[in-house]
């Protein structure tokens, strides 16, 4: 595939925010216990009972599923770059405030609402925003929406992940 084809076929980036719906305290404990049990059996190597290893792997899978069930994925898809710039233009920085690039009071939520992919209506998001989400969750969702739009480089790629040619 040529560079032209790859660039023109490039989908808009997205990020998935895991929103905690249920208390995850017990599932986290169960997951750590299942991991520990499996590690102990793996350290035993060939001396470990095969049925115990299978049971430990099944317990680990069950614990992972139990923890995952405590969260709901919220998908945030980047806007087209022109649309993102237009949204910034609608939320201009205010004089006499700490605003630099956009209105810090209105832009983050507007960006989130433009990017969120869900089956909730705008009215339902109003209710969730006001009654369900904490200030911290709202802030993280807004930050994730902005980050996916400014297309911050992936910091998870290790230094030197590409080979340098001499």
What string of H, E and C letters represents the secondary structure of 95-134? CCCCCCCCCCCCHHHHHHHHHEECCCCHHHHHHHHHHCCC
pLDDT of residue 156: 74
CA distance 67 to 19: 12
| pTM to 2 decimal places | 0.78
CA distance 41 to 44: 5
Residue 89's alpha-carbon distances to 82, 105, 107, 110, 111, in angstroms, are 10, 14, 10, 12, 12
Per-residue pLDDT of the chain (166 residues; tens, 9 = 90+): 899 999 999 999 999 999 999 999 999 999 999 999 999 988 888 877 888 889 999 999 999 999 999 999 999 999 999 999 999 999 999 999 999 999 999 999 999 999 999 999 999 999 999 999 999 999 999 999 999 999 866 667 676 666 554 4
């Amino acid at each position: 595939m040529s560079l032209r084809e790859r660039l023109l076929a490039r989908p808009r980036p997205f990020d998935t925010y895991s929103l905690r719906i249920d208390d995850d305290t017990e599932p986290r404990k169960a997951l750590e216990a299942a991991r520990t049990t499996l590690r102990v059996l793996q350290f035993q190597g060939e001396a470990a009972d095969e049925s115990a290893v299978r049971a430990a792997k099944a317990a680990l899978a069950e614990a992972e599923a139990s923890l995952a069930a405590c969260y709901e994925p919220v998908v945030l898809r980047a806007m087209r770059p022109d649309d993102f710039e237009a949204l910034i233009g609608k939320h201009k920085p205010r004089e006499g405030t700490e605003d630099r690039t956009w209105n810090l009071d209105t832009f983050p939520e507007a960006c989130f609402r433009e990017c969120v992919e869900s089956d909730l209506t705008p009215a339902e998001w109003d209710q969730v925003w006001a009654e369900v989400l904490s200030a911290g969750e709202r802030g993280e969702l807004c930050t994730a929406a902005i980050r996916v739009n400014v297309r911050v480089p992936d910091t998870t790629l290790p230094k030197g992940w590409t080979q340098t040619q001499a």
